[in-house]
Amino acid sequence: MTAQYPPQTSDLDPRVAGLAAVVECQQQEIERLRAERDGGLLVPVAEGILVERLGYSPAEAATHLAELATRTGITVAELAADLVAGAVRPPRTLAEPGNAPDFARLPDASAENSALLEEVRRTAGAAAVAVWQVRPDGALGLAGHSGLDLLEASRWRHLPVLMDCLPQRAARERRPHWIPEVEFAPAVPLLADERRGARAVVPVTTARSIAGVVEFVWAAPLPLFPPEQKRRLTALAALCGREIVLSTQPAGALPSTVGLLDSGLFARPRSDESGQVTDFEIAQVGEDFEDPHGRQPAELIGRGLTRAYPLLCAYGLADRAVEVLTTGATARLGPVPLVARTGGAATPATVDVRITRFLDGVRIGLTVGHDDHRLAQLLHNLQHIARLGSWEHSVLTGEMTWTEQTFELFGLPTSAGPVAWDELCTYVHPEDLPIAEAFQTTLLARQEAATVFRLIRPDGTHRQIRAHGEPVLSESGQLVAVRGIYQDLSAQYQSQVALTATRDRLADTEHEAQQQNRIARELQQAILPSAARPVEMDGLDVAVRYRPAAQEHKVGGDWYDATVLPSGRILLVIGDVAGHGIGAATGMIALRNALRGLAVTGASPGKLLEWLNTTTFTVNRGVTGTALCGLYDPESRTLTWARAGHLPPMLVRGGVTEQLPLPRGILLGARPTARFEESVLELRPADTLVLFTDGLIERRGVLLDDSLDRLAAAACHAGTDVERISDQLLAEATSDTEDDSCLIVIRVSEPVTPA
């Protein structure tokens, strides 16, 4: 059909005429496309008839059809229509539910079907072939067989949907199963299980669904099925399966199941040429089904789902139906807002959709909720979420009315009835009775009232209730009722109590921490003054500095000591106890005093650190730290020193600063026993030695070596006076860790030249 020119519309408004012409042209174009589509669909059907009747392959059937059309002088579509018209059987009438055939009886296969199955079995080289038809309830009924004895056929005449076997699996999964030998088959009942060969189970599909299943059984195993053999077996299964299944399909099966739909509708899938589901066709409507738009069942049956419910499909109805058909899982949709028609009136409403798989399609149930129902549900949900319960007391009749949530707040079943106005105080905590009585008195005095009281429920639990009420007056001003709400504040009240207790505990903890930090700082300041006076020892000028942490809670365990021993040697020590607070301060005091006592023995620095480590590990458990211990001999100007995980000292000599090589030595308190290597340094007059803790140089994001290089550069240009050197190094320190730090600057005195 070719499109015609638009009709004459000279009497109309030009804009209306233009629109009418466009609509007319589009309608004619739609009719033309429909005609072409219908003709195009007949060609594949005609080719299938040639494949079935003449044994052609699909390609040979297409070529033969084209040659016939050329010889007869008509189009391929017209020839296809003639072939289909001659091949189609007369339509079967739909039987009444009571006249449905007996599924329990094996169908009597016609001679034509038996011959067809026998030919298919020989062509496939199989020992047996069986064809099952899919029943409306999902069971499989044996429709024909070849190569099976009557006893075996009787055993497999009916396969319930819950029976786990290869035919049911193929129907359920909608895919063929290829088993080259029976050892690879799953542990399920097998057709003709005495034959231990290969098996192929192929579903028979129609344009809408699974129609049946064909199983081939071989007496011996086969190699893996090649693609060519799979295509041939699939074609054989389709040939015999469709012919036998359609010829034995019982009528009246669907009407017998319509009663199962109740308030739903049944829709079958529509598929395109590739087998993809494009829409669903409404096949049956339940007796109790209510269409949201007020349509009768006759107006819905035969319609596509997208045409009948376009708005619901826009919200995903068709897509969900495809998922349900594929997976079998029930799906829900909604609530979807739409305009419902009831008695000819249009009202806003919502629709909840429930989709389940049913027979070879889906069952769709629609539940319509109008605005009043929706608002009532919203109010119910609001009261449940906010734990609100409404009430109203009639002053005239004494009747009390409660909502469902009010019963929940009081812990009473709805069957118990609401608590009367005069009995309310029996549920109130005795200490809160005056509050509840004042609340009622205020309302009866025609004034709004609000209060909070404790409610005692029948199970003995207490709830914190907020009550708010208002008087209801008649037009003449007479008090007729009081109404209000109860709200359960127990969760908020308990949270507030817990929050208050937490705040109190935090305040106590903060005060305790401040006290401990103050004590720790006082301890450190008493033992380690921030800027002690320079110490003049035999041949040495010594300056010490201690800089506490910027914040009190970070008071650390840095310590130092410089003293002359009875032997005349000078003890030089610097260390850092791990941690902060009073624990670090007391640990520092313990290490400092222990080392002073041990040093009197005259032992070497390595031995002193060994003893100090043992003391730390056994006596001061949990304390760890670093230390550097040196003994200076004024006569030989030699410094013997050892370290326990501490940073190396720096030597300034002749305007050049260098880090001394590190002797081996681990952290104090890390092991019960440890050895500490000693190093000997011969000092010269005017040499300067700098000992320090990590709090002086550590900086976030900066490598330790870079920080040490900065300190070395600063020490090199700091001058010769130990006091000035100490102050300048502290001033130029780049640390940003807010840790405390210690510094000892030692300078070897130059010999005094006689006048």
pLDDT along the chain (755 residues), means of 10: 39 49 57 55 72 69 75 67 53 37 40 81 90 83 89 89 88 89 78 86 77 90 86 85 65 48 84 86 87 87 89 89 89 82 69 87 84 60 72 87 86 89 90 92 92 90 89 86 87 76 79 70 60 67 82 70 90 88 77 90 94 89 90 93 94 92 92 93 94 88 88 86 89 74 89 57
Query: Which CA distances in Å does 234 have to 51, 174, 179, 240?
Result: 14, 13, 14, 10
Long-range CB pairs of 548-554, under 8 A, 24+ apart, other chains included: 548/521, 548/524, 548/740, 549/580, 549/695, 549/738, 549/739, 549/740, 550/738, 551/738, 552/514, 552/517, 552/518, 552/521, 553/513, 553/517, 553/580, 553/581, 554/580, 554/738, 554/739, 554/740
Listed in order, strand segments (DSSP E) in 489-637 are 535-537, 540-547, 557-564, 570-577, 625-633
Residue 335: cis peptide before it, omega within 30 degrees of 0: yes
State both tokens at 453. 């009281």
Positive or negative, the Cα torsion across 164, 165, 168, 169? positive
130 in Cβ contact with 215 (< 8 Å): yes
* Angular region, 193: left φ>0, alpha ψ -120 to 50, beta rest: alpha
Long-range CB pairs of 613-622, under 8 A, 24+ apart, other chains included: 613/644, 613/668, 613/669, 613/671, 613/673, 613/674, 613/676, 614/672, 614/673, 616/591, 616/668, 616/669, 617/669, 617/670, 617/671, 617/672, 618/672, 619/590, 620/587, 620/590, 620/591, 620/669, 622/669
Which residues 6+ apart lie within 8 Å of 742 measured at CB? 528, 544, 545, 546, 547, 558, 559, 560, 574, 576, 692, 693, 695, 696
CA triplet 246, 136, 187: central angle to 5 degrees? Answer: 95
pLDDT value of residue 660: 93
Give me the torsion for CA of 254, 258, 261, 264, rounded to 10°.
90
Question: Which backbone phi and psi does 63 adopt, to 5 degrees?
Answer: -65, -45
What's the rounded Cα separation, in Å, for the pair 366 and 56?
A: 48
Beta bridge partners of residue 159, listed in sequence order? 140
pLDDT value of residue 34: 54
Residue entry with tokens 């935090």? 506
Residue entry with tokens 């809670």? 553
Short-list 348, 289, 293, 355, CA closest to 326: 355
735 in Cβ contact with 699 (< 8 Å): yes
Short-list 156, 160, 137, 140, CA closest to 148: 156
Strand 210-217 to strand 264-271: parallel, antiparallel, or no bridges (unpaired)?
unpaired
Residue entry with tokens 């174009």? 29
- What is this structure's pTM? 0.39
696 in Cβ contact with 704 (< 8 Å): no
Strand 479-488 to strand 535-537: parallel, antiparallel, or no bridges (unpaired)?
unpaired
pLDDT value of residue 25: 58
State both tokens at 533. 């006076």
Continuous H helices in 578-688 = 582-599, 605-618
Q: What is the largest CA-CA distance in the chain?
A: 145
What's the rounded Cα separation, in Å, for the pair 472 and 580?
A: 68
Question: Which backbone phi and psi does 441 adopt, to 5 degrees?
Answer: -65, -40
pLDDT value of residue 444: 92
For the chain, the straight-line distance linking the first and the last C-alpha, in angstroms and rounded, comes to: 135
Please give the helix or strand (H or E) that residue 346 lies within, else none. Answer: strand 345-358
Q: How many CA atoms lie within 13 A of 725 on its CB side?
A: 29
pLDDT value of residue 102: 36
602 in Cβ contact with 549 (< 8 Å): no
Please give the helix or strand (H or E) that residue 486 lies within, else none. Answer: strand 479-488
What's the rounded Cα separation, in Å, for the pair 625 and 642?
A: 14
pLDDT value of residue 405: 83
Q: Is 406 helix (H, G, I), strand (E, B) or coil?
A: helix
For the chain, what is the radius of gyration of the CA atoms? 49
Using CB atoms within 10 Å of the CB of residue 530, give its burial: 0 to 12 exposed, 13 to 18 middle, 19+ buried.
Answer: exposed
Q: Provide DSSP, 451-476.
A: EEEEEE-TTS-EEEEEEEEEEEE-TT
What's the rounded Cα separation, in Å, for the pair 742 and 584?
A: 15
pLDDT value of residue 12: 44
Query: Which CA distances in Å does 23 have to 10, 11, 26, 454?
Result: 16, 17, 5, 73
Beta bridge partners of residue 747, listed in sequence order? 541, 688
Continuous H helices in 249-309 = 297-300, 305-308
Long-range CB pairs of 696-700, under 8 A, 24+ apart, other chains included: 696/729, 696/730, 696/733, 696/735, 696/741, 696/742, 696/743, 697/647, 697/733, 697/734, 697/735, 698/735, 698/737, 698/739, 699/734, 699/735, 699/736, 699/737, 700/736, 700/737
State both tokens at 532. 């002690």
Structural domains of the chain sorted by starting position, each given as residue range(s) with its CATH number in brackets: 14-87 (1.10.10.10), 104-248 (3.30.450.40), 255-374 (3.30.450), 387-488 (3.30.450.20), 529-748 (3.60.40.10)
pLDDT value of residue 181: 84
pLDDT value of residue 621: 79
3-state secondary structure 472-485: EECCCCCEEEEEEE
What's the rounded Cα separation, in Å, for the pair 400 and 143?
A: 70
Continuous H helices in 569-699 = 582-599, 605-618
State both tokens at 382. 């609001």
